[in-house]
Amino acid sequence: MEPGEIHALLGENGAGKSTLMNVLYGLYQPDEGEILVDGKPLKLKGPSDAIGAGIGMVHQHFMLVPVFTVTENIMLGAEQIRGGIAGFLDRRRARREVTEVSERYNLRVDPDAVIEDLPVGIQQRVEIVKALTRDVDLLILDEPTAVLTPQETEELLTVMRSLKAAGKSIVFITHKLGEVKAIADRITVIRRGKTVGTASPEASRDELAALMVGRNVRLTVDKTPATPGEPVLEVAGLVVDDDRQIRAVDGVDLTVRAGEVLGVAGVQGNGQTELIEAIMGLRPALAGTISLAGDRINGWKPKKVLRAGVGYVPEDRSVDGLIKEFTVAENLVLDIYDRPPFGAGLALKPDAIAASAKERIEQFDVRTSSAEAAVGTLSGGNQQKVIVARELSRPLKLFIAAQPTRGVDVGSIEFIHSQVIRERDIGTAVLVVSSELDEVIGLADRIAVMYRGRIIGIVGPDTPREEIGLLMAGISPDAAHDAIAAPAADKPGATTADSPGVADGSPASDAGSASEDEA
Amino acid sequence: MSTMAVPDIAVAPVDEGFWTRSRKVGLTLLALGLLSAVLFGALATDQQARFTLSDDAAGTALEINGTIGAILFGIITIAAGAALLAGVPKRWFLPVLGVGLVAFVLSFLCWQVSAAPTGQNFMPLVNIIRGTFILALPLIFGALAGVLCERSGVVNVAIEGQLLMGAFSGALFGSISGSVWVGLVAAAIGGAFISLLLAVFAIRYLVDQVVMGIVLNLLAVGVTGFLYERLMQTDAAKYNSAPRFSNWEIPLLKDIPVLGPALFRGNIFLYLGLLLVLVIHIGLFRTRWGLRTRSVGEHPIAADTLGVKVLRVRYRNVLLAGVVAGIGGASYTLALYSFTKNMIGGKGFIALAALIFGRWNPTGALLAALFFGFADQLATYLGAINSVIPSQFLAMLPYLATILAVAGLVGRVRAPAADGKPYIKG
């Protein structure tokens, strides 16, 4: 790393990027090898050593205490103290320092705001200010854009540039190609814990993607135009609260027809989770109606919804989709274990379960040592394939997939996408929710954008990504159209909607590079 | 930074409907007020209800006609309920609720005192307040031990055991040495010993903290019970006759009417308990120690990434909790009684309830402990004047209130986020 350099660390999920950086930040201990700072080897026993050596880190999951104020979070661990041994906090001095740093780097934060009341983008800013108050020279940003809207991402890239101008070095960990190309000075690609190459930002997306995954991957989803039929799922005026009794879905109307994929795009936490859970009967609908092929299914138990012909891939497979300690075969019949041929009366039929498991493992290309292996021992992609296999093995009217490829390797993504399209082509209505815009664009025949509990617009898959990005940030369709009309005009060829990158989930990348061009 | 402004187009206010929490509480209060005005008013007699302000029954007193008082205070409760129902600003919610509840209690007392047998139509306020504090004292220490422990993320169900071990070692070593101070130090060490076991098993060996707490309580009962029978009972004069702290009168303060004789002629434990509430409150919210403690209890990983030694903070706080609870146990054996088997008798669990009722805050815990102490004291008083209300019924009320509080009726009760979750590095 050079001073004043932005170094991108690019790699697939699970390639070892975060682990490497956690070692650098002293959270994990290296088994072998050493870290050199200014030519001298550095021994890090813990994060405080790293901070002492001028290394700061913004973690993927923010390291902020939700009930503390911004100032309290920033001063923690390096408290300004008065009153000697009693150690009274000098909040006034701490506050002043926060204000000073945030003004110097143009990172506006309210020092007295409580973290849990702040939007994610601002929380990230607090994290950066926290690192900067500790006088770091090297700032590690671990997947900083995963939770941001395209516009927030753009702001972050601006912040990174101004930090670079101030002489700070930045390590930028990501798997999103667009952002890397927009900002990095140097790119190191990591695969399976090894450096597989370095590249300059001029390298094309395809080259970078190939380096990341080790083979050429298709960045598009093959599909024919949809032939929509009758409406299968109709949602009208749906209102749902989240766990904290705060309104999460606020009057949603949706229709999904047989033989089409409706994609729901949006930054995570805008009510997508609650919408799906309400449809599945996992969460009460406070108002509105949900009907499935004409039957009103409000208030049905999840089991009844499933039996009515709904397939469901939940967004967090480790919590909802699988029982990790159970075998692959058992997980494959979790939905129908009590029905023939798998169950009769009180007894299970192990032979039938094993036979069907064998068949489906083959059909869905699940890589497992055996059908009797615990599902928890499989890789993320193969776990997801088990869920998809289970859900698609029943005759379905409606298939709901929430974040179907989160934490899944590129090979499995391709396979899962092709299965989703296959299901559409046999006439099932499909509802896909994903925070990866490219996935939605690639799969969907129509895209509904969700923002603060509402569907803010429904657009076709050919819509420019900038426009969808603005919708995701809550700018209504007309305004969005006006807002991008100007910049879109003077950058021809920047639209990537016709070739969405699977491994590139960065909707703002083009907007980011555009603004750089203008500057 | 120049980004386009994001208009807040879909910020729908969370509409709670007409029945907000404040209105529901208001309606309940209104019902209570009606009950007290009508029922207590009808049952009260024309006797004067006297609330005496001095130590003797004949001295100065606040007096009110029983019937009038019961109805008057009932009406105040109704008014408070109606105010909440009509809608008051948020910051007025607690004060109005407080007025309403106090008026309800007063209405009840007007009935009870006026209906007491002739000659007993008075309530000695000094005794009631003093008794409230004495009964609340172990709860205060216990709840503070809970605050120290749980704010750092370790559930402390072992308060009972810590109190008991403190009481026991205070009595034993106080008796042997003949010094109250040696007894006090021994009590602190005894409580800390139980804490040490909790800390090692919960933090080092990741044993479920609730299960561990319960086991430690049983251990404390067993060990102290065994030693009591084998040691103390055989030679009580030598092993179970600890010297006691005498009452200290605080100059000036002791002359305040009512409060002076009730509070400022007590023993060292009363002063120590109140002082600790203040010290721990300031410590938690104003010092580096407090900030780190709370961060470790809320988000230990975040604290770790900033160089806070999570496990060390937890060990230290759990041990401190044991010291505080141990001293609380000594408030029995070095001031009031000699040691008996299982003498804490569940107060540690009530302290746990006070901790939750007080929302993991030192001052909140103090108020909750006083509330429990008052209910306890009231039950005793009503028993003495042969009230028609069974004292067991009254003794039950504080716990009913705790259940309602924990169920979220009196606002959201939120424990430290990492409470009870062991921290495993990496």
**CATH number (domain holding residue A115):** 3.40.50.300
Q: What is the pLDDT of residues B265-315, one digit of tens each?
A: 888 999 999 999 999 999 999 999 999 999 999 999 999 988 899 999 999
Residue A1 lies in a domain: no
B5 and A CB contact within 8 Å: no
Set of chain B residues whose Cβ sits within 8 Å of the Cβ of A474: 6-10
Per DSSP, what are the bridge partners of residue B111?
none
For B1, which of A81, A89, A106 is closest by C-beta distance? A106
Average pLDDT for residues B387-414, to the nearest whole number?
Answer: 73
Contact (CB<8Å) B305/A452: no
B298 touches chain A (CB under 8 A): yes
Q: Which CATH class is domain B126-406?
A: mainly alpha
A182, A250: one domain = no
Nearest to B301 by CA among A57, A139, A174, A80: A57
pLDDT, mean over chain A: 81
Q: Are residues A175 and A293 in the same domain?
A: no
Backbone angles phi, psi at A290, to 5 degrees: -125, 120
- Proportion of chain A above pLDDT 90, given as a percent: 31
| CA distance to partner chain A, nearest, from residue B295 (Å) | 6
Residues A330 and A386 in one domain: yes
Establish if A145 belongs to a structural domain.
yes
Distance from CA of A454 to the nearest CA of B (A): 7
* Residue A456 CB-half CA count within 13 A: 30
Question: A75 and B291 in contact by Cβ < 8 A?
Answer: yes
pTM attached to this predicted model: 0.74
Task: Judge if A243 and A343 occupy the same domain.
Answer: yes
pLDDT, one tens digit per residue, over A366-382 is 888 888 989 888 888 88
Helix (H, G, I), strand (E, B) or coil at A195: strand
Non-local CB neighbours of A170 within 8 Å, separated by 6+ positions: A5, A6, A7, A138, A139, A140, A141, A160, A163, A164
Alpha-carbon distance values, B228 to B168, B183, B338, B340 (Å): 8, 16, 11, 7
- Phi, psi (deg, nearest 5) at residue B266: -95, -165
Model confidence at A502: pLDDT above 60: no
Statement to judge: residues A206 and A326 lie in one domain: no
* Residues A100 and A177 placed together within one structural domain of the fold: yes
Within a domain: A12: yes
Confidence band of A362 (pLDDT split at 50, 70, 90): very high
State the DSSP string of A59-76.
-SS----TTSBHHHHHHT
| Mean pLDDT (whole number) for A488-499 | 39
Q: How far apart are the C-alpha atoms of A210 and A177, rounded to whole Å?
A: 11
A467 Cα to chain B: minimum distance (Å) = 14
Q: Looking at A370-374, B58-62, B126-130, which range is the least confident one?
A: B58-62
Can you give the pLDDT at residue B181? Answer: 95
- State the smallest CA–CA distance between residue A262 and chain B in angstroms: 22
Whether residue A494 has pLDDT greater than 60: no
Q: Which residue of chain B comes nearest to A473, CA vs CA? A: B6
Chain A environment of B304 (Cβ under 8 Å): 27, 46-47
A80 pLDDT higher than 70: yes
Return d(Cα B305, Cα A48) in angstroms, integer: 8
Whether A352 maps to a domain, the answer reads yes
Taking CB atoms and an 8 Å cutoff, what residues of chain B touch A79? 288, 291
How far, in Å, CA of B151 to CA of B141, rounded?
Answer: 15
CA separation for the pair B368, B364 (Å, rounded):
6
For chain A, give the percent of residues with pLDDT over 70. Answer: 87
Contact B63, B135 (CB under 8 A): no
A199 and A273 share a domain?
A: no
**Nearest-CA distance from A249 to chain B in Å?**
10
Is the pLDDT at A518 greater than 70? The verdict is no
Pairing type for strands A194-199 and A186-191 reads antiparallel
**Final residue of a structural domain among A159, A179, A213:** A213
A191 and A294, same domain (yes or no): no
By CA distance, what is A246's nearest residue in B? B14
Alpha carbon A162 to chain centroid, angstroms: 26
Q: What is the pLDDT of residue B72?
A: 93
Distance CA B405, CA B382 (A): 25
Residues A355 and A352: their CA atoms lie apart, in Å, by: 5
Tell me: do A97 and A162 sit in the same domain.
yes
Same domain, A74 and A15: yes
* Residue A156 and residue A246 share a domain: no
Ranges in chain B annotated CATH 1.10.3470: 126-406
Instruction: Tell whether A185 and A237 lie within a shared domain.
Output: no
Domain end position, chosen among A186, A213, A240 = A213
Three-state secondary structure call for residue B355: helix
**Do residues A444 and A456 make contact, with C-beta atoms less than 8 angstroms apart?**
no
Does the structure show a pLDDT above 80 at A16? no
Cis peptide before B13 (omega within 30 of 0): no
Domain that holds residue A202: 6-213
Q: What is the tally of structural domains in chain A?
A: 2
Which residues does chain B have within 8 Å of residue A59's beta carbon, measured at their own beta carbons?
Answer: 305
The ipTM assigned to this model is 0.82
Q: Number of Cβ pairs closer than 8 Å across A and B? A: 109
B306:A476 CB<8 A: no
Q: Where would I find the H helices in B334-422?
A: 347-357, 362-384, 391-406
Is A474 in Cβ contact with B305 (below 8 Å)? no
H or E segment to which residue A238 belongs: strand A231-241
Residue A62 pLDDT > 80: yes
